[in-house]
Amino acid sequence: MTALLLHDQHYSLDHEAFLSTLSNTENLLIIQDLDGVCMGLVKDPLTRKIDPDYIRATRKFKDHFFVLTNGEHEGRRGVNRIVERAFRNVAAKDETSYLPGLAAGGVQWQTDNGQISHPGVSQAELDFLGTVPDLIGQCLGRFFTKYADIFPAELQPELIHASVLDNLVSPTANLNVLAEYLGDRLEIYQDLQRTMETLMNDLLEKASQQGLDNSFFVHYAPNLGRDNVGKEIVRFATAKDSGTTDFQFMVRGAVKEAGVLVLLNYYYAQRTGHYPLGETFNARQAPQNHEELLQLVQENFDPQLMPLIVGVGDTVTSHTEGDQVRRGGSDRLFLQLVQDIGKWAKSGNLVVYIDSSQGELKNRIPLKLGTINGQTQVIGGITDPADPLQINVAFPGGFEQYTALFQQAATNRAEK
């Protein structure tokens, strides 16, 4: 019987075949998330670490590798600071290189030498975003006062500092540290989640009053997908699951699936000298609907030139509530678009899932492994049977297993 190709497999553990694909495919485009994929998930983003050998490996994929993250490149909590710490000795500083691609959901572009821009974002929007971290901090302060017996005054500044991410274009309330601090006080933590949800809605209203009616949206990570008007749904905590921990105030249009089109447009230009969507195309100009995004690709990109796209992420959810299945996760829609572009262009695109449940966070569901006919297989995944998203390749061993293979593939390419 002929073995199935990787793009026809489901939760494949055939890492040798995947290694061969990364090593030998000339027309290749890797679009990869960061947290949980190439570094472990941690409660405090300031403690993240990245392997300098992994950074070196990304250079060997030059023009074939780009990141796509809801985090940010720049700023005190940006990934660039993690990269710089990885190359902290004097000799290595000379070779420090940054991760090229899109951050803040697709509106923060960075080259591998650290040049950053925000295509499509206005100064008025940047000014409003600059006020959000203080407003998050003030809201947390009021919440702490409400539960003064639980949050001593002397601890409050430290907790606020750890929970307010002062990102330039995606200021965020990160509740990981607070979830750990509250422990089994589930009702109080759920009240904190509701408080943050209310604050985000109030910020949207405040922006509207300042003439920025369609400038922003709120991203919840992880989430339960979107409601019937397109708003993401908070995943409230349970006794076993901390639910939504990141409440991100983001620029409208800054969604990863739009970033796929930006990166594909750039990739085609590097290969052919022509931008299918125009040289100034940015994520804010992209449609917000999956079908329209796919149609834009079909109308403008030559399928004969389509690269084999490898989408890599770790945040996909499928949650059943009675008869209703809610599918979410901040990587879901970009991975779905990668998959559907591959089906249309017959380019063999791959969706790769990294199991990040070994990290410090309690909101990741691990893959279940079992032995069938003497072979280890994934017998329980993170999607439901009717899920249109098909995970082709899985890494149950998490980011360390994935990055080791990535580095080997980079070495193989460099030796050709």
Give the mean pLDDT per block of 10 residues along the chain (416 residues): 81 97 98 97 88 95 96 91 85 77 95 93 97 98 97 96 93 95 96 98 97 95 88 92 94 94 98 97 94 98 98 93 86 97 98 94 89 92 93 98 98 93
289 in the same domain as 402: yes
Task: Mark which of 182, 217, 251 sits at the end of a domain.
Answer: 251
242 in the same domain as 266: no
239 in the same domain as 155: yes
298 in the same domain as 224: no
pLDDT at residue 190 in the model: 98
182 in the same domain as 75: no
Q: What is the pLDDT of residues 340-350, one digit of tens each?
A: 999 999 999 99
CATH code for the domain of 350: 3.40.50
* 219 occurs within a structural domain: yes
pLDDT at residue 360 in the model: 86
pLDDT at residue 1 in the model: 42
Strand (E) or helix (H) holding 403: helix 398-414
Burial 219-249 (b: 16+ CB within 10 A, else e): bbbbbbbeeeeeebbbbbbeeebbbbbbbbb
* 197 occurs within a structural domain: yes
274 in the same domain as 143: no
DSSP SS3 for 413: helix
- Nearest of 175, 216, 213, 209 to residue 194 by alpha carbon: 175
pLDDT at residue 252 in the model: 93
pLDDT at residue 92 in the model: 62
Residue found by looking up tokens 């009240």 in the block? 191
| Domain that residue 404 falls in | 6-117+254-414
262 in the same domain as 243: no
Q: What is the pLDDT of residues 366-385, one digit of tens each?
A: 999 999 999 999 999 999 98
pLDDT at residue 362 in the model: 75
177 in the same domain as 72: no
193 in the same domain as 132: yes
Q: What is the pLDDT of residues 89-131, one digit of tens each?
A: 656 666 778 999 999 999 999 998 899 999 999 999 999 999 9
pLDDT at residue 43 in the model: 81
Other CB atoms within 10 Å distance of the CB of residue 89 = 8
Count of structural domains, the chain: 2
Alpha helices (H) along 63-148: 79-86, 90-93, 123-146
CA distance 25 to 21: 6
User: Nearest 5°: phi and psi at 328?
Assistant: -145, -155
Judged by phi (left if over 0) then psi (alpha if -120 to 50, else beta), residue 183 lies in: left
345 in the same domain as 247: no
Q: Which residues pair with 380 in a beta bridge?
A: 368
CA distance 333 to 389: 9
CA distance 33 to 256: 9
280 in the same domain as 368: yes
288 in the same domain as 274: yes
* 1 occurs within a structural domain: no
